[in-house]
Structure 1
Amino acid sequence: MIFISEFLRGTAPLKQTENLRVEKIIPLIEPTALKLELPMTPEAEATVSGAREAIRRILSKEDKRLIVIAGPCSIHDETSAIEYAEKACRFERKKV
């Protein structure tokens, strides 16, 4: 048992509790550097603008479609993204 007095004096043995399974840390590329390295193409810009406008129209009830935004909070690799999309498609097909 570790007593608070030992901890405060710094005599209690400390056990590492963070990064126990971290093999290495790789810094992320800064967003500004990434934008310079991979600028948005006109096609990508048109896709983003079009999607934003479609969403705006749905949310403002100018478009009667229903919008559903669902998905994992993060996708760490292409395989996971494809697997998730396939599951979503199967769910949609069952629903219809």
Structure 2
Amino acid sequence: MTILATAPAAAPTAPERHIASYTPLPTPAELLAELPLTAEQAQQVARHRDQVRAVLEGTDRRLLVVVGPCSIHDPEAGLDYARRLAALQAEVGDELLLVMRTYFEKPRTT
């Protein structure tokens, strides 16, 4: 399955007859196959998880700060936010461990 070029599937049969079409989500295995991590990316993820674990276990004295916009609708704005947060982390890294947390395309609440 090509993730970005998935065509809508045919409408299901009854009892969902009011649905015109749908686009199935890729499975985790399909995502991993199409978007594999490089060795460098995998090492970065492991290193950051180890840092968070160390703070939570008390072996790292820094304060863990989880920050971020509630949701991101513009990928470029999200990347800009991440770059700015990385620059701030370089400044305050002796005292704080900053972790960006956000949702992509989170539905708005009323």
Pair 1:35-2:38 in alignment:
no
Structure 2 spans left out of the alignment, 5+ residues:
1-20, 93-110
TM-score between the two structures when normalised by the length of structure 2: 0.48
Structure 1 spans left out of the alignment, 5+ residues:
1-23
Aligned-residue offset at 1:76: 3.1
Segments ≥4 residues shifted beyond 6 Å = none
Number of aligned positions between the proteins: 69
More strand as a share of residues? 2
CA distance in 1, matches of 2:53, 2:24: 35
Q: Secondary structure at the match of 1:69?
A: strand
More helix as a share of residues? 1
Pair 1:45-2:32 in alignment:
no
Q: Secondary structure at the match of 1:28?
A: coil
Pair 1:80-2:77 in alignment:
yes
Structure 1 residues 80 and 41: alpha-carbon distance in aligned structure 2, compared to 1, 3 A threshold: same
Q: Secondary structure at the match of 1:64?
A: coil
Identity %: 40
RMSD between aligned residues: 3.0
Which residue is equivalent to 1:60? 57
Which residue is equivalent to 2:96? none
CA distance in 1, matches of 2:24, 2:41: 27
CA distance in 1, matches of 2:30, 2:78: 25
